[in-house]
Structure 1
Amino acid sequence: MSTLAVSPPASAANQKPTAVGATDLSALEDASLTKWLDIHHNPQQGVFLSIVQDKAGHTVTWAYGPFLLEIAVSFTGVTGQFGVNIPLRGYKKLIDINGDLINGISAAFNFDKIVFGTIKIYLKRRLVILELDAKAFGQEWKVKIALLSL
């Protein structure tokens, strides 16, 4: 049995592939840092928030003061981590997050009596609510915020 290799016509080999219904992003300019900050930063609350929706759910990144929350919210639950940025030392994970929004997630954390407090994540109507009551580096950090609408 023999195989036959067919080469495409010369005109087809030089054509650029196209995707029907897609947007060509290669010609767009990168978003500037100023534009990104305008979209993701709330200066009145001192909060940064980024939400990315995909097929599995939502990926939420939230920063408040020295604290950083990174979670994935899906139909079955919430997973991720919560930590703190320590000056001159970098990021330190305080807790792993794994639970569901119906029952809510609540955890206390304490790192060398320098960073301590509680965090709660729960569902109220269709809103994912985050409550943080903490103290870090001698300063109080207390906030109740709607992270996401489902």
Structure 2
Amino acid sequence: MAEVLARAAIALACALVLTGCGSTITGVARPLRVTDVERELVSGYFADLNEAGGQGTSEQHELLDDTQHPDFRDEDCELPAGTIKVQPTMSTLRLDPAWTPPGADEHPRGVVLVVAVTLTVVQEGTEVGSQIGSQHVVLLNGKAYGFAPCVN
């Protein structure tokens, strides 16, 4: 009988110790949100892209080369003829941490965001096409990078 009481006492002591280990942390779970700094980097990326397009095809292509994500630069990328104007709908800007570029096996380094855009192709001063879609922008080391619209 003494042995049974001793085992019961040990079990009770263990239960009391384990109960004290399960502390509750108070607070409110909040979803990850896009910061004002990130929002400004993305809107600046599109403003620079449109400004370069207003200066000409070679200026915009140079900017697209310079802002291509460093892990996904492809020297064989042939950019489309003409320029593009991109109008982002910034209210749709959101994080997209699971995205990988088409044909890639890995996630790009940095903070991946996606935004709805209206993209207009301009050739020799004439709008030749327009479409609405999504565009990904990656923030890495304080700079916004994109993925050039390669023809090939």
**Structure (1/2) with the larger helix percentage:** 2
Structure with the larger RCO, 1 or 2 (CA within 8 Å, 6+ apart): 2
Q: So what's the TM-score if we normalise by structure 1?
A: 0.27
Give TM-score scaled by structure 2 length: 0.27
